[in-house]
Amino acid sequence: MTNLTPATSPTSASPRRGGHAGRVLLVDLTAGRSHIEALPDQTARQWIGGRGFNVRRLYDEVGPDTDPLSPENVLLFGVGPLNGTTFPGAARMNVTAKSPQTGILGDSNCGGFFGNELKSCGFDQLVLRGKAPRPSYLLLRDDSLEILPAGDLWGMDVTQATAAIRRAHGDRDGRLQVACVGPAAEKGVRFAGIFCNLARPAARTGMGSVLASKNIKAIAVAGTGGVEVADPDAFARVVEDTDRIIYNHEEYGIRCQLGTTKLVAALNRLGALATRHFQQGRFEEAIPVSGEALARQFKTKWKACASCTIPCSRFWRLPADPADQFGGLAGEGPEFEGLAGFSSRVGNGDLRLALAAHDLCNRLGMDAIATSEAISFAMECRQRGLLTPDDADGLSLEWGDPATILGFIRKIAAREGVGDLFADGIREAARRLGRGTEEFALHVKGLEVFQADPRGIKGYALGYAVASRGGDHLRSEPWFEFSGDAEAGRRRFGHPDSAFRLKHGGKGALVKHFEELAALSDCTEVCKNTAVNMEVLTFERAARALTAATGFDYSPEEIQQRCEALMNLERAFIVREGIRRADDVLPKRFTGEPLPAGSGESTGSTVGLDEMLDQYYAARGWDGATGIPTEAKLQSLGLGEVAADLKAHGVPIG
């Protein structure tokens, strides 16, 4: 046992002032040492928190020659200035490193309680460097950090390992917050995640793979500290105002009842639900596998993350039945991505099977989006005669087949047989398989797209193409294109078509705005379901909240500019890795194959990406031919040193 007690720490129970804890905990796993750094006021103000802190440090410390699974990669856990306060929904955390799945920016965000507990220990950021000499886990209690042996935990699934750690430390009431990886990460599956509270994963871009590569099974935290804000009265007024807006929002009720699972039925009505690997936009069995069906049949209790006013998650339980292979199974979730991924995307109309598949994916510790893409890709390849059951260890690969869905999950997690082919992500699987399958691998920059068909939501399509971590919906979430409010579209984004999901006009400005709003959400660590999709955390309200919390005198313009700077820093990171406009693409299915008949208003729709890319680069002030931020743009955002660094790395910056 190694007990690491940093000397430069206040008493563990002392309150932290000004929103930020003001401290960063750095752990050298190779040497078994840790130390504390002060968080400079300039860094705190400029990068706000969470994602901003992480990406700034990643850019500075991890260069383009770094192997993502080497000890030289750093793994960063960042929280924001509102974590641990009463601000509604401020319970998120960002986990960041160079991605082993995509080779570019790796970043994932999760909710639950872990992030706020890290803040209660008195830290804004946890930095892991190097590699432990043997399987280990970290126990952080206020200022005391221990690196403990995890040999007996290695091989356990997420549920087992979490329970074992809590038992080992006498934690009977769940006070100890555990973030851990499953067997998939240990086996080197490159889209393995880090799972908090069993079902709250930082699952995208392979952050679990990075943690396991450092010989770390889990991180357990328990803090007793509090968080004070600079102006309690002003902060209380902002919180009261925000609560009122949330409670009176037209979507408050349905988000409490269904959370993101409401999208299964909603997108199906629009003809934009991922169905049989995006070959259709509507699933004939969408209603039996919808969020409404889940709430009606199997939901037992609502659940919210720390400080949130919307209990959008749920506990569920399947009826006990000895004759049913799923009888008595229980779990939390899923979100829309897991529910649709293991139902419509793979052609499965059995809600029980979808829940069981998602639960298995969580226990083994993998990203549900990447896993469901692997399964549905293989099923389409079987449909087209490009794969056979013999290629898949005897799995039938028929749409909706339970043995195929569950068997594929287990095989990927174990890197067994056909699972080894898919364990590095769909881009690499298609490359290795060949046979013309690359055309059907649905990813952008190596990251699989989520369960909404971009042909039916053009702003999201653009967001997928330009997202800094690859084919991703959470980097922008431009919900406004569902509004149908042409006048608001003209006023806000310079074009009435920005308000319509099947039109291309104005989408560059639309996506730019919502990327910056999403960046704000990830820096403050306020949930996007309220901050972005309900547009509760505007730049104006954020300026009020952050001024009251931190004592920095923020204006809305400064907040927006800092979020714009983060978007430019992330773009600089990936262009330093070789990304250009030619990589801001979508799979051919979405640009060249119209949505088929039966997709309602979306029938016949494709994505006109080039038109929207021109708009987007113009809105961003980037070079339209290369997609590289210009030196003038970087200088205007206070990123002159980044411009110089890009030049030093041979990036043709204009």
pLDDT digits (tens, 9 = 90+) for 509-553: 999 999 999 999 999 999 999 999 999 999 999 999 999 999 999
Examine the pLDDT at 16 and tell me if it is beyond 90. no
Q: Quick one: angle between helices 539-550 and 556-576, nearest 10? A: 100
pLDDT digits (tens, 9 = 90+) for 43-87: 999 999 999 999 999 999 999 999 999 999 999 999 999 999 999
Selected residue with higher pLDDT from 226 and 140:
140
In this structure, of 10-24, 201-215, 562-576, 632-646, the range with the lowest mean pLDDT score is 10-24
Cβ 455 vs Cβ 271: under 8 Å: no
Question: pLDDT tier at 6 (50, 70, 90 boundaries)?
Answer: very low
Cβ 405 vs Cβ 357: under 8 Å: yes
Mean pLDDT value across residues 477-505: 98
Q: Please tell me the predicted confidence (pLDDT) of residue 17.
A: 60
* Tokens 């038109």 -> residue: 611
Q: Which two tokens stand for residue 101?
A: 């799945």
Q: Please tell me the predicted confidence (pLDDT) of residue 207.
A: 98
Selected residue with higher pLDDT from 497 and 172:
497
- The amino acid that residue 271 corresponds to is G
Q: Please tell me the predicted confidence (pLDDT) of residue 173.
A: 84
Long-range pairs for 429-432: beta carbons < 8 A, 24 or more residues apart:
429/374, 429/377, 430/377
CA-CA distance, 121 to 330, in Å (whole number)? 32
- The amino acid that residue 381 corresponds to is C
Cβ 510 vs Cβ 504: under 8 Å: no
pLDDT digits (tens, 9 = 90+) for 113-161: 999 999 999 999 999 999 999 999 999 999 999 999 999 999 999 999 9
CA-CA distance, 4 to 282, in Å (whole number)? 55
Query: Which residues face 77 on adjacent strands?
Result: 95, 126
Q: Which two tokens stand for residue 88?
A: 């509604």
Cβ 318 vs Cβ 352: under 8 Å: yes
Give the list of residues 6+ apart from residue 153 with CB closer than 8 angstroms, or none. Answer: 135, 137, 161, 164, 165, 217, 218
Residue 610, phi-psi category: left (phi > 0), alpha (psi -120 to 50), beta (remainder): alpha
Cα separations (Å) of 212 from 160, 283, 393? 16, 37, 27
Examine the pLDDT at 2 and tell me if it is beyond 80. no
Give the list of residues 6+ apart from residue 248 with CB closer than 8 angstroms, or none. Answer: none
Cβ 110 vs Cβ 8: under 8 Å: no
Q: Which two tokens stand for residue 328?
A: 């008595």
Question: pLDDT tier at 425 (50, 70, 90 boundaries)?
Answer: very high
Mean pLDDT value across residues 345-369: 98
Q: Which residue in 146, 189, 202 sits closest to 25, CA to CA?
A: 146
DSSP assignments along 589-603, one per residue = HHHHSPPPTTSGGGT
User: Which backbone phi and psi does 373 adopt, to 5 degrees?
Assistant: -65, -45
Q: Please tell me the predicted confidence (pLDDT) of residue 189.
A: 98
Q: If you average pLDDT over every residue of the chain, what do you get?
A: 95
Mean pLDDT value across residues 487-496: 98
Examine the pLDDT at 12 and tell me if it is beyond 90. no
DSSP assignments along 73-88, one per residue = S-EEEE--TTTTSSST
CA-CA distance, 616 to 627, in Å (whole number)? 9
CA-CA distance, 188 to 495, in Å (whole number)? 47
Any idea where the domains of the chain sit in the sequence?
2-222, 261-442, 457-626
pLDDT digits (tens, 9 = 90+) for 610-645: 999 999 999 999 999 999 999 999 999 999 999 999
Q: Quick one: angle between helices 640-648 and 556-576, nearest 10? A: 10
Q: Which two tokens stand for residue 291?
A: 């969020």
**Interior angle at CA 596, CA 342 and CA 381, nearest 5:** 50
The torsion of the CA quartet 640, 645, 647, 650, rounded to 10 degrees, works out to -160
Cβ 234 vs Cβ 550: under 8 Å: no
CA-CA distance, 351 to 344, in Å (whole number)? 10
Examine the pLDDT at 8 and tell me if it is beyond 70. no
Cβ 426 vs Cβ 440: under 8 Å: no
Q: How does strand 23-28 pair with strand 125-129?
A: parallel
pLDDT digits (tens, 9 = 90+) for 177-189: 999 999 999 999 9
* H-only helix segments in 271-416: 291-297, 336-341, 351-364, 368-383, 402-414
* Tokens 């013309």 -> residue: 436
Q: Which two tokens stand for residue 131?
A: 């590699």
Domain 2-222 has what CATH class? alpha beta
Q: Which fold has domain 261-442?
A: 1.10.569
Cα separations (Å) of 560 from 513, 519, 538? 9, 9, 10
DSSP assignments along 550-607, one per residue = H-----HHHHHHHHHHHHHHHHHHHHHTT--GGGS---HHHHHSPPPTTSGGGTT---
Q: Please tell me the predicted confidence (pLDDT) of residue 7.
A: 31
CA-CA distance, 594 to 617, in Å (whole number)? 26
CA-CA distance, 196 to 161, in Å (whole number)? 11
Cis peptide before 334 (omega within 30 of 0): yes
Cβ 111 vs Cβ 194: under 8 Å: no
- With H, G, I as helix, E, B as strand and everything else as coil, classify residue 352: helix
Q: Which fold has domain 457-626?
A: 1.10.599
- CA 321 to chain CA centroid, Å, is 35
Selected residue with higher pLDDT from 3 and 622:
622
Question: pLDDT tier at 5 (50, 70, 90 boundaries)?
Answer: very low
- With H, G, I as helix, E, B as strand and everything else as coil, classify residue 49: coil
Burial of 612: CB neighbours in 10 Å, binned 0-12, 13-18, 19+: buried
Q: Which two tokens stand for residue 95?
A: 């986990």
Sign of the Cα torsion 371, 203, 590, 595 reads positive
Q: Please tell me the predicted confidence (pLDDT) of residue 9.
A: 36
Mean pLDDT value across residues 349-363: 98
Sign of the Cα torsion 642, 643, 647, 648 reads negative
Q: Please tell me the predicted confidence (pLDDT) of residue 212.
A: 98
Cβ 355 vs Cβ 334: under 8 Å: yes
User: What secondary structure letter does DSSP report for 538?
Assistant: -
CA-CA distance, 400 to 153, in Å (whole number)? 34
